[in-house]
Amino acid sequence: MAYCWGVRRLFSTATRLQGVMSNPYAPSPRLRYVFPGGAPAVTIAPEQQSLKDKEKGSWKDLTIEEKKELYRMTFPFTVLEQRSSRGEGKYVIGTVGCWLSFAFFLFILSKLYVSPHLPYTYTQEWMKLHKKARTPPTTIG
């Protein structure tokens, strides 16, 4: 059964991908957003413009600090900086804590003011008086 399912899935995937495989350079039908024609427009500070002009020349003439600065202009964050926490966990825990305290406050208010007293049938005296009436009769036989 599993073998048959796997073969069926293989053929269904192959028939679905037939149009894509015939022209690998065709735009993907899954693409939802149109990409811009070129690189995104970046505004460069005037002090960085001279460094950007040096970049067009020989890279051997650049110092290590200038190469690092050019790298930082292209990629503002390192992998470690991108993966570092930005404090979203504190925000989530604080929000959940606020909602839980609000729910607890509503629970306490409902316990105090909505149903402050239990019905008289829940008292011990009433239960003792009606205990015999609730016991089923025993039948012999």
What is d(CA 20, CA 16) in angstroms, rounded to the nearest whole number? 8
The structure tokens listed for 136 are 């089923």
Q: What is the pLDDT of residues 12-38, one digit of tens each?
A: 555 555 554 555 555 555 545 555 555
Q: What is the pLDDT of residues 120-129, one digit of tens each?
A: 888 888 888 8
Residue 38 backbone dihedrals phi, psi, to 5 degrees: -130, -165
Q: What is the pLDDT of residues 95-110, one digit of tens each?
A: 999 999 999 999 999 8
What is d(CA 9, CA 15) in angstroms, rounded to the nearest whole number? 10
Query: pTM of the entire structure?
Result: 0.38
Burial of 51 (0-12, 13-18, 19+ CB in 10 A): middle
What is the b/e burial string over 114-134, where b = at least 16 CB atoms within 10 angstroms of the residue's CB?
eeeeeeeeeeeeeeeeeeeee
